[in-house]
Chain A
Amino acid sequence: MNTSSNTFPVKIKTNDLCFFYGATQALFNISLEIKAKQVTALIGPSGCGKSTFLRILNRMNDIIDGTKVQGYVALDGQELYKSSTDVVQLRKTVGMVFQKSNPFPKSIFDNIAYGPRIHGVSNKTQLNELVEKSLRRAFLWDEVKDRLSQNAMGLSGGQQQRLCIARALAVGPEVILMDEPTSALDPRSTAGIEDLIRDLVLDYTIVIVTHNMQQASRVSDDTAFFYEGKLIEFGETRQVFTNPAQKQTEDYITGRFG
């Protein structure tokens, strides 16, 4: 979508990254660079490792027993898998939005305030400001400003997903990971989320996993195509979609498999 992607600094870099679930290797020698304030789409058939890769970036795979990471992953030059890494700090910096919207069964306000609160913000005025700012940033404020005390489970699917985005924004991240954020939404809500992604990328680095080829081509600047745990092709989205270097990529994006 942009013409000068080379000017964006690298935010996340991986080199020869391998990942194991027990004895099963899920990722093989992934080396790529994710640029700051760009949308990077990860595409590929189910089980290709794209979600696994995404969850390495905020160490969410840690919660699965028996997983192992090998190789180099770094955020702003800081390696993620070192014993000195503060996982709490990492997850504050690298936020995540999930496939199925997962608001807490609490009020809209408490959902957004949850992150700031656990990180020590207790000042009421400050919380109010943070909640409003985050909801505005996620294009949700006008729809919910009169019912902040109502349960978030009463929102529509698209609103819930934007709430989850706002909740992630409230802790002040630099990177936002999105794991198929629109796969459970209707086309209109999907369009809303895509507009939001294009707007958020002005301030944040976004990595999005998607099954939807059109979505990848619409929202992303760079695209990485994964297949069977390997990175087949990585480059500017326009390049990957109009003139893929690999036969497998072409077959996948033209719908011949996957």
Chain B
Amino acid sequence: MSHPNKTSFTETLCFGAMRLVTYSVVAVSLYIFLDIIFKGFPVLSWNFLTGFPSKGGSEGGILPALLGTFILVSGTIIVALPVGMATAVYLSEYARQGRWNNLLRLSIMTLAGIPSIVYGLFGLGLFVLYFNMGQSILAGCLTLACMVLPTIIVTSEEALRAVPQNLRQASLALGATKWTTIYTNVLPYALPGMLTGSIISIGRAAGETAPILLTAVAFFLPKLPQSLFDQVMALPYHLYILSTQHPDMDKVRPLQYGTALVLLLIVFAVNSLAIYLRISIRKKFRW
């Protein structure tokens, strides 16, 4: 009878260890969140959100950085979402399935795991220098788009594949063309999954520094950008400057926390939007 007892002891031990690990992960994240929220919240004010930084970032607000991040994220969505979704539709619905397609898929997955600084250097080489865009909003958006594209393609394709094959067959058998079938009987059901995955990856891009560091951002700009070829400020880079490059670190500590909190809130808002979209669209379609 000692055998079952021994298994259950090992089991308890294993589950206990897993629980401990899980709780510590939660505890660490919670600590970071609460730290940022408690120290950042007092800084938040209308002036902080709508003011320009002054005295080398020692005082003032974050408006240009906030707006810059907003512009970069919007531009990334505009470029990456249609391209990524179209690629996913092609790969899952039109492309001949086989070794070549699998190789392509594997390459895209690999791209999704490449460090963001590599995309930054790629953007610097291709958009900033070769296409002569200079450090600009356009170059930054395109670089960020390159970075999020693989994730958008992979998640969108998964969502497309999750749509039951027999719906496509039913539609085709009624004489619908392939495009009509995709448009009316595949995309609507795959859209929640496609959007969720895409938006979450774009939310992550909002917090990235490396890809825009070399392609779009400026340390400080006295006025808001006027065109796509202007440089911008951005929240993650502003935060990086405040916390590493400022001569009097302790003095600007509250501003760092405020900036971090705003960035966190933006990412949180973007992810909530994704979850909301998924729930509301999924309610409409069930199979």
**Chain B residues closer than 8 Å to A98, beta-carbon distance:** 166, 169-170, 173
Which residues of B from 153 to 170 have beta carbons under 8 Å from A? 164, 166-170
Which 4 pairs from chain A and chain B are nearest by CB?
A: A102-B166, A96-B173, A91-B175, A115-B174
Q: Count the A-B residue pairs with Cβ separation under 8 angstroms: how many?
A: 66
B285–A105 contact, CB under 8 A? yes
A114–B171 contact, CB under 8 A? yes
Q: 13 A-B Cβ contacts within 8 A?
A: A60-B169, A63-B168, A88-B175, A89-B175, A91-B172, A92-B174, A98-B166, A102-B164, A102-B166, A102-B169, A105-B286, A105-B287, A167-B170
Does A23 sit at the interface, judged by CB under 8 A? Answer: no
Hey, which bits of chain B sit against chain A, CB under 8 A? 96-98, 164, 166-177, 180, 184-185, 189, 285-287
Closest to B177 in A: A88
Given contacts A65-B97, A89-B175, A115-B175, contact A151 B170 (CB under 8 A): no
Given contacts A60-B172, A91-B174, A115-B175, contact A102 B286 (CB under 8 A): no
**Chain B residues closer than 8 Å to A91, beta-carbon distance:** 172-175
- Measured CA separation A147–B286 after assembly (Å): 17
Does A230 sit at the interface, judged by CB under 8 A? Answer: no
Closest to A65 in B: B96
- Measured CA separation A98–B166 after assembly (Å): 8
Hey, which bits of chain A sit against chain B, CB under 8 A? 58, 60, 63, 65, 88-92, 95-96, 98, 100, 102-105, 114-115, 118-119, 151, 153, 164, 167-168, 171
**Chain B residues closer than 8 Å to A114, beta-carbon distance:** 171, 174, 184
B184–A118 contact, CB under 8 A? yes
A153–B286 contact, CB under 8 A? yes
Q: A65-B97, A90-B175, A104-B185 are in contact. List 12 more A-B contacts (CB 8 A).
A: A60-B172, A91-B172, A92-B174, A92-B175, A96-B173, A104-B171, A105-B285, A114-B184, A115-B175, A118-B175, A118-B180, A151-B286
Q: Which residue among B98, B176, B180 has the maximum number of chain A CB atoms within 10 Å of its CB?
A: B176
- Measured CA separation A151–B283 after assembly (Å): 12
Given contacts A89-B175, A102-B164, A118-B175, contact A153 B170 (CB under 8 A): no
Closest to B163 in A: A105
- Measured CA separation A95–B287 after assembly (Å): 22
Which one, A151, A153, A168, contacts B173 given CB within 8 A? A168
B170–A104 contact, CB under 8 A? yes
CB distance from B161 to the nearest CB of A (A): 15
**Chain B residues closer than 8 Å to A102, beta-carbon distance:** 164, 166-167, 169-170
Closest to A100 in B: B166
CB distance from A227 to the nearest CB of B (A): 26
A65–B98 contact, CB under 8 A? yes
**Chain A residues closer than 8 Å to B176, beta-carbon distance:** 88, 115, 118
**Chain B residues closer than 8 Å to A171, beta-carbon distance:** 174-175
CB distance from A176 to the nearest CB of B (A): 10
Q: Which residue among A63, A95, A103, A171 has the maximum number of chain B CB atoms within 10 Å of its CB?
A: A63
**Chain A residues closer than 8 Å to B164, beta-carbon distance:** 102
A153–B287 contact, CB under 8 A? yes
Q: Which residue among A95, A118, A164 has the maximum number of chain B CB atoms within 10 Å of its CB?
A: A118
A164–B170 contact, CB under 8 A? yes
**Chain A residues closer than 8 Å to B189, beta-carbon distance:** 105
- Measured CA separation A171–B169 after assembly (Å): 16
A118–B174 contact, CB under 8 A? yes
Which one, B98, B173, B286, contacts A95 given CB within 8 A? B173
- Measured CA separation A65–B98 after assembly (Å): 9
B173–A60 contact, CB under 8 A? yes
CB distance from B139 to the nearest CB of A (A): 40
**Chain A residues closer than 8 Å to B184, beta-carbon distance:** 114, 118
- Measured CA separation A167–B286 after assembly (Å): 19
A119–B286 contact, CB under 8 A? no
A95–B174 contact, CB under 8 A? yes
**Chain A residues closer than 8 Å to B171, beta-carbon distance:** 104, 114
Which one, A63, A151, A164, contacts B172 given CB within 8 A? A63
**Chain A residues closer than 8 Å to B287, beta-carbon distance:** 105, 153
Given contacts A102-B166, A118-B180, A118-B184, contact A58 B173 (CB under 8 A): yes
CB distance from B114 to the nearest CB of A (A): 31
Q: Which residue among B98, B170, B173, B189 has the maximum number of chain A CB atoms within 10 Å of its CB?
A: B173
B286–A168 contact, CB under 8 A? no
**Chain A residues closer than 8 Å to B175, beta-carbon distance:** 88-92, 115, 118-119, 171
**Chain B residues closer than 8 Å to A100, beta-carbon distance:** 166
Closest to B168 in A: A63
**Chain A residues closer than 8 Å to B168, beta-carbon distance:** 63
- Measured CA separation A114–B185 after assembly (Å): 10
Closest to A60 in B: B173
- Measured CA separation A96–B168 after assembly (Å): 13
CB distance from B104 to the nearest CB of A (A): 15
**Chain A residues closer than 8 Å to B286, beta-carbon distance:** 105, 151, 153
